[in-house]
């Protein structure tokens, strides 16, 4: 198997918080069962500290039904 390490070293990521980078890393995990769930995402300190009046997060358990 091919393993790729994701890095956030470029100039575009310099102003991004460690918490936000942690969220990205956990969402980009190769194995779906190890990825951040919506419940864990909503409880993540990086998201909990984000306050914006025009930002609305919809929590939906079923996104797609085949």
Per-residue pLDDT of 13-65, as tens digits, reads 888 888 888 998 999 988 899 999 988 888 888 877 665 544 555 555 555 54
- 16 and 42 in contact (C-beta within 8 Å)? no
Q: Give the Cα separation of 22 and 46 in Å (integer).
A: 8
The reply to whether the predicted model has a pTM over 0.85 is: no
> Which residue from 25, 3, 30, 26 is spatially nearest to 13, judged by alpha carbons?
25
3-state secondary structure of 61: coil
Q: Give the Cα separation of 18 and 4 in Å (integer).
A: 20
pLDDT of residue 41: 87
């Amino acid at each position: 198997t091919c393993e790729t390490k994701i890095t956030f070293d470029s100039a575009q990521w310099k102003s991004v918080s460690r918490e936000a980078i942690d969220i990205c890393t956990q969402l980009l995990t190769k194995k779906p069962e190890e990825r951040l769930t919506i419940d864990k995402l909503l409880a993540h300190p990086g998201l909990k500290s984000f306050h914006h009046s025009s930002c609305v997060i919809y929590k939906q358990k079923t996104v797609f039904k085949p």
